[in-house]
Amino acid sequence: MINFIIQLSLFFIILSLISQFLGKYMANVFEGNIYGWLKPLHTLEGFVYKIFKIEASKEMSWIDYLIGVLVFNAIGFLVLFLTLIFQAYLPLNQYHIKNMSWDLALNTAVSFVTNTNWQAYSGESAATYFSQMTGLALQNFLSAATGIAVATALIRGFVRKTTIYIGNFYVDFTRSILYVLLPLSIIASLILISQGIIQNFSSYIKADLLIPFKDSIKEITNQIIPMGPVASQEAIKLLGTNGGGFFNANSAHPFENPTAFSNLFEAFLIILIPASLFFTFGYMVKDKRQGWFLYIVSLVILISFMVIQYYYELKGNPILKHLGVKNTYPIGKELRFGLSGSSIFTTITTTTSCGAVNTMHDSLTPIGGLIPMSLMALGEIIFGGVGSGLYGMISMVIVAVFIAGLMIGRTPEYLNKKIEAKEMWSSVIITLIAGITALLLSAMALITKSGISSIENPGPHGLSEILYAYISAANNNGSAFGGLNANTVFYNITTALAMLIGRFFPIGAVLYMAGSLANKKLIPPSAGTLPTHTPVFGIWLAFIILIVGLLTFLPAFSLGPILEQMLMLKGVLF
Amino acid sequence: MKKKDTSLFDKKILKEAFINSFKKLSPLELLRNPVMLSVEIGAVITTLYAIFDIISKVKYAWFSVNISIWLWFTVLFSNFAESIAESRGKVRASSLRESKSNLMAKKLESKTSKEYTLVSANSLRKGDMFLMEKDDIIPIDGELIDGVLLINESAVTGESAPVVREAGTDKSSITAGTKIVSGTAIAIASVNAGETFIDKMISLVEGAKRRKTPNEMALDILLISLTVVFIVVVINFRALSYYTVNSIHKGSVVSLVVLISLFVCLAPTTIAALLPAIGIAGMDRLFKRNVIALSGKAIEAAGDVNVLLLDKTGTITYGDRQAHDLLPVEGVSKEELAKVAYVSSIGDTTAEGKSILAFTKENYKIDYTPNSYKLMEFNASTRLSGVDIENDIYRKGSFDAMIKFIKSLNGEIPKDLESIVSKVAKEGGTPLVVSKNSKIYGVVYLKDIIKPGIKERFKDLRKAGIKTIMITGDNSLTAATIAAEAGVDDFLAEAKPEDKLSLIRKYQEEGYMVAMTGDGTNDAPALAQSDVAVAMNAGTQAAKEAANMIDLDNDPSKLLDIVETGKEILITRGAITTFSIANDIAKYFVIIPASMSNSYKELNVLNILHLSHAHLAILAAVIFNAVVIPMLIPLALKGVKYRPMDAQTLLVKNLTIYGVGGIIFPFVGIYVIYLMLELIWRGL
């Protein structure tokens, strides 16, 4: 318990300190105020524009910006898709990994382009080094940069007035990579390597077992230990809230997450950019309180969920307790990290849209598993994905402002911009589409044979498995509950669909809103303006966030995890 | 229009609303309100189910029958709310219609022609000239081009004191349906028959042309999206239930009737049902205050206004200056001055004169009526007024005029007179010099009297973030004094119409929403530019056309009421939306455990109200959802009362009442309804 409190406090104090600086730094970078000491990178930036013939000074309307995003992502998807289905013929394939099937390749390519990193394959046996490095790791950068760029465009919508221009996608994108993602990844990789993460192109190692054992057919005397360029991919997997592990076990694998320190450090990397972007937002709209406000509301919600999760895991499974097992809570967790390290990592990876895991969520207690599921179901806006978290949260604020604004007798406004029909359309699409998609697709899976046949456990637990998969995919999280055999044509296609809808509908809506906002006048604030940085509004915002989540998912959750918890207390397990 | 109060439960209105709520069941009518349309579709489906259940004698047929009935009630209640709001307007419209039925016009061929032809008012076109005489009813809106009329406008304003309309002034417009008390005049029709102000009022109050306002559209988007989410939730719930039942081979899949009940309870029916009524009732409330809003959009804009341009005269001060103090010159006592001032005002009918009489009577107990006197009325060449009693001449007038007058009598000008006069002027007052024969006694300090309570009202407005700006033709010295005294934020002195226009533009460029009142033709450009423009009904046609609201009482201070009404409409919408969404929590906790009770008793942990009978519990939730609509009709029609305060305080207040209240109330309500149902159930 003490351990948990210390880890938690230390974690968030450091996060609060560092994310402010990073936030300010990013604000300056996106506004084009490049620091003097960044001169070499600035030269490189100019060089990039020259090669790709980008007119950096040319601004885009929202529709041009959107076309930029879509075309760029479509190309990224195609390249990755082709790489995966032809990976056997491409270099760096010492282990003779086969080409991916079309549906798995489709799913994987969509998954990495949409910043989801849902993995229906297992990295060590289904992807070559070449695929991992050039395809997957590259998309980790590109999808993250896309998210940041779109969020920046939205912020500009608030700052600017009566213009149709919201920035240049290629510039925002290039800057996110050059000044933010790349330098941070390099630093993070070095720190991770210091903790023992591997970085090599070696063949897989065959090792003799210390104690051979016999399975049903024959004696097992050795094991294959996969190798690879892990560290370079690990940092961006976390920083970009991607979450696609090099290995199937993801951050539970000792080569991806070797020590208790690396565990906290990884959790920190996951949440760093989403947290900083709140401050970037505050700096760019020239009202730092707005950034702090979103940060604090998110923090309070996250910590509450974290504590609940910790509490239920600590209580553990009463049935095992009755059987005399003392410490029931290590189930499904790495002993290296303990309960605290697991609870913190699990909630952080699901509150952001990362989806890297250091714990098998499937093995958590029912309520312990409900927490990560709920954090995703809230729409990945409590910090959320890089960029996507910020624009998701802003949309939620707009919904909250709309109703609260009416209650003070003004047509609602946020950050001096009037909220009207266009903003409402965008906001409801951004905040509701993932939930709708998850509900519809999970309904389809629950009533079809191809859906149910992938379930490993019957009853409410199986229901949770399906639900988790679609909530994770539609919200672009990408973590898996486990227990569900997701590499089937049915799941590959439906989860890919969920990921695409969950990613690009909101992006379109965000840019549409950015265009509409940029075109509006700025309304001078007065005593009659709803203050959007006060505790009262914070409570209201939290209420709206929770009630939207609750109204959308309460029936599903009550027949899944809640029912399972009740049954567990009665001694029924699945 | 009769000012007869059309109270909420007027029998005639109720009857009409009752009939209309059935007429409005037509899906075509409901297309305007998709949330309620979805409820109606649900009702149709459950009704088919109920019929099927009855025919096949299913055990639970009573349940689907009851749910169907209450779903229909939900739609009917919603229609009723809208109809009742509309019929209040309709009753007014019909009385308006009476006032303009069968009007005849005395049409003239030209301005000079002596003969007129009697034609029906319905045949008049814009530009036609017509003659009006005593006891005629004005056939069409127009502008006087010759003559003066005394008109009783009670048909439009409800105010029976007659008003003067005169050609060539700012008060030259006449309104169809009003009656001429005296005078003869020629007017030119300013509109075609059927487009008169009364026609516009009729169509406005009937709601026939009512378009959704931008804010209503934005709210609609939110409500429709929530409805879509709940349809999806219900579909998902069916799948969940199907899976669960098949997985444990126990219980039965939730029925369509239960699913539809769940959907209707969750969908934001309360706000969707009352939304049209809130808007219509808002216009109606303004109408009751004798303000005609030409569009709902204008009222909504009024709620957003953050700069008010207020005419000094009539809004901030009474139109007339009044005696405030007496300042005698050296060697004269206040009592002496009071007496001279009193006598000089005997018989004076101007407001200033009357106020001097009242002031001296009250403060110096002077009461004196001379046997005979000769009244010297204000005269443009001497610019003096007063009385002659026997051989004494009493005069009062401005400083310049009096000096000229006294000098002509070879009188002496007191040395301190000029300093007294300039002191009064500096304070923003008007100095009136008083004399008896050739001796100057002193000065009456006339002052603009600020309306009582206006200062507090401006203070409130400031708290609500609204700037007040006084517009006046006075010089800046006088203006500044009054501005300070009234507590306005700023003022525009020696204001010309161009100044007003550029001031409005300046504020609008900074992003402010500006409201103003006006009556003259020269106000028209500024009226057209401002976001909320209130024209006085007595004003010129040009002013009325440029405005988006018309005040029938010609009271510029109504602008403040209009702003408050605009805010009330928005607050009411927000409050009921919050209430509607907050209600869902309770409904979930009733319906989810009830609908799954036959598969998993364990889910009873969600059944926090401990409602043991599942079907009754669901029915109770549906009934609650329906009856909450008529319960809130009075709130929707009257609006949530607005008192200016800062945004934060207002938010806390409304969140507590409608948010927290909205969470708790349905738990209580559903529980009570459930207990009643259980009683009935046991009785059967």
Decide the pairing of beta strands B142-152 and B163-166: antiparallel
Whether B244 and A435 lie within 8 Å, measured CB to CB: no
Cα–Cα dist A122/A431, whole Å: 31
B573 touches chain A (CB under 8 A): yes
The DSSP code for A95 is: T
pLDDT of residue A209: 86
Interface membership of B566 toward A (CB under 8 Å)? yes
Active-site positions of B read: 311
pLDDT in tens, B390-400: 888 999 988 88
| Topology, domain B321-449 | Calcium-transporting ATPase, cytoplasmic domain N (3.40.1110)
Model confidence over A286-308: pLDDT tens digits?
999 999 999 999 999 999 999 99
Residue B279: per-residue pLDDT: 86
Distance separating alpha carbons of residues A72 and A54, to the nearest angstrom: 13
pLDDT in tens, A329-381: 788 888 888 889 999 999 999 999 999 999 989 889 999 999 999 999 999 99
Mean pLDDT value across residues A238-263: 91
Q: Is A526 close to B239, i.e. CB distance below 8 A?
A: no
Contact A420, B300 (CB under 8 A): no
Nearest C-alpha neighbor of B536 from the set B525, B523, B461 = B523
Query: At A92, is the secondary structure helix, strand, or coil?
Result: coil
Contact B366, B360 (CB under 8 A): yes
Residue B286 pLDDT class (50, 70, 90 cuts): confident
For the domain spanning B104-139+141-190, the CATH number is 2.70.150.10
B147: left (phi over 0), alpha (psi -120 to 50) or beta: left
- For B654-684, give the DSSP string: HIIIIIIHHHHHHHHHHHHHHHHHHHHHHH-
Distance of CA A216 to the CA centre of its chain: 40
First to last CA, chain B: 54
At residue B3, the pLDDT reads 42
* Structure token pair of residue B522: 């020269």
Residue B5, pLDDT > 50, answer no
φ and ψ at residue B464, rounded to 5 degrees: -85, 5
Whether B240 and A559 lie within 8 Å, measured CB to CB: yes
- Please give the average per-residue pLDDT across A143-148, as a whole number: 97
- Shortest CA distance from B606: residue in chain A: A558
Of A424, A432, A547, the CB nearest to B581: A547
Q: What confidence score (pLDDT) does residue B382 get?
A: 78
- Choose from A157-171, B124-138, B416-430 the range with maximum mean pLDDT: A157-171
Among B222, B300, B511, the residue with its CB nearest the CB of A428 is B222
Residue of chain A with shortest Cα separation from B461? A528
Query: Quick check: A388 and A354 in contact, CB under 8 A?
Result: no
The whole-number average pLDDT for the span B649-664 is 95
- Identify the pLDDT of residue A76: 95
Residues of A in contact with B236 (CB under 8 A): 439-440, 442-443, 555-556
Which residue in the set B221, B462, B647 is minimally distant from A530, CB to CB?
B647
List chain B residues with CB under 8 Å of A441.
none
Helices then strands, counting H and E runs in chain A, come out as 22, 4
The Cα of B574 is separated from the nearest Cα of chain A by a number of Å equal to 5
pLDDT band at B6 (very low <50, low <70, confident <90, very high): very low
Across the interface, of A402, A435, A442, the residue whose CB is closest to B222 is: A402
Q: A525 to chain B: nearest residue by CA?
A: B465
Q: What is the pLDDT of residue B206?
A: 66
Cβ contacts of residue B647 below 8 Å, gap of 6+?
Answer: A408, A410, A527, A528, A529, A530, A531, B464, B465
Separation in Å, CA of A564 to nearest CA in chain B: 9
pLDDT at B181 (0 to 100): 85
Within 484-503 of B, beta carbons closer than 8 Å to A belong to: none
Type and span of the H or E element at A155: helix A138-159
Query: Closest-CA residue in chain B for A466?
Result: B240
Quick check: B658 and A555 CB within 8 A? Answer: no
What number is the average pLDDT over the span A492-515?
97
Interface test with A, best of B217, B221, B223, B643 (most A CBs within 10 A): B221
Measured CA to CA in angstroms, residue B234 lies from A433, A443, A564, B230, B603 at distances of 16, 10, 21, 6, 18
Residue B115, Cβ neighbours under 10 Å: how many? 9
pLDDT over threshold 90, residue A414? yes
Most A CBs within 10 A among B225, B458, B653, hence the mutation to make, goes to B225
Spatial contact of B478 and B422, defined as CB atoms under 8 Å apart: no
State both tokens at A7.
Answer: 């880890």
Confidence at residue B196, expressed as pLDDT on a 0 to 100 scale: 80
Option in B464, B577, B652 nearest A403 (CB):
B577
Q: What's the pLDDT at B1?
A: 37
- Report the chain A residue with the minimal C-alpha distance to residue B564: A409
Residue B481 binned pLDDT confidence (cut-offs 50, 70, 90): confident
> Residue A133's pLDDT band (boundaries 50, 70, 90)?
confident
pLDDT in tens, B297-322: 888 889 889 899 988 877 788 767 88
User: Within the 262-281 window of chain B, which residues sit less than 8 Å (CB to CB) from chain A?
Assistant: 266
**Partners of residue A531 in chain B, C-beta under 8 Å:** 647-648
Q: Please tell me which of the candidates A404, A423, A440 has its beta carbon nearest to residue B235.
A: A440
pLDDT surpassing 70 at residue B438: yes
pLDDT at residue B210, rounded to an integer: 64
* Chain B residues in contact with A404 (beta carbon < 8 A): 574, 651, 655
∠ Cα A362 A365 A368 (to 5°): 90
Instruction: Enter the pTM of the model.
Output: 0.88
Which of A199-208, A377-386, A558-567, B155-164 is predicted with the least confidence, judged by mean pLDDT?
Answer: B155-164
B375 at interface of A, judged by CB pairs closer than 8 A: no
- Is B465 close to A440, i.e. CB distance below 8 A? no
Output b/e per residue, B581-609; b: 16+ Cβ within 10 A: bbbbbbbbbbbbbbbbbebbebbbebbeb
Query: What is the average per-residue pLDDT within A507-520?
Result: 97
B300/A408 Cβ within 8 A: no
* B648 touching chain A per CB within 8 A: yes
Beta pairing class for B173-174 and B163-166 = unpaired
Q: Would you call A356 helix, strand, or coil by DSSP?
A: coil
Interface with B, mutate which of A559, A565, A567, A572 (most B CBs under 10 A): A559
Q: What sign results for the dihedral spanned by CA atoms B140, B144, B147, B148?
A: positive
> Between residues B502 and B99, which one has the greater pLDDT?
B502
Question: Which residues on A lie below 8 Å from B465 (Cβ)?
Answer: 526-529
**pLDDT number for residue B205:** 65
Q: What is the ipTM of this complex?
A: 0.95
Q: With bands split at pLDDT 50, 70 and 90, how would you rate the model's confidence at A281?
A: very high
Distance CA B107, CA B129 (A): 6
Q: For residue B92, is pLDDT > 80?
A: no
d(CA A128, CA A88): 8
Classify domain B291-316+451-552 by CATH architecture: 3-Layer(aba) Sandwich (3.40)
CB-CB under 8 Å, A402 with B243: no
- The C-alpha angle B279, B285, B291, rounded to 5 degrees, equals 110
Q: Give the residue-averaged pLDDT of A395-421.
A: 93
Q: Give residue A215's pLDDT.
A: 78
**Domain ranges across chain B:** 11-91+207-286+564-683, 104-139+141-190, 291-316+451-552, 321-449
Residue B204 — pLDDT band, cuts 50, 70, 90? low
Cα separation values, B229 from A434, A438, A498, B146, B189, Å: 11, 11, 16, 66, 55
DSSP structure string for B294-335: S-HHHHHHHHH--EEEEEIIIIIEEEEEEEEEEEEPTT--HH
Chain mean pLDDT for chain A: 92
The rounded distance, in Å, linking the Cα atoms of A71 and A134 is 19
Alpha helices by DSSP H, listed for A211-323, are 230-239, 260-284, 288-315, 318-322
Chain segment A27-83, per-residue pLDDT in tens: 999 999 988 899 999 999 999 999 999 999 999 999 999 999 999 999 999 999 999
Distance of alpha carbon B126 from alpha carbon B105, whole angstroms: 13
φ, ψ of residue A90 in degrees (nearest 5): -95, 165
Among B38, B614, B229, B577, residue whose Cα is nearest residue A551: B229
- By DSSP bridging, strand B179-189 and strand B129-132 are antiparallel
Provide the pLDDT confidence category of residue B163 given band limits of 50, 70 and 90.
confident
Flag whether pLDDT at B209 surpasses 80. Answer: no
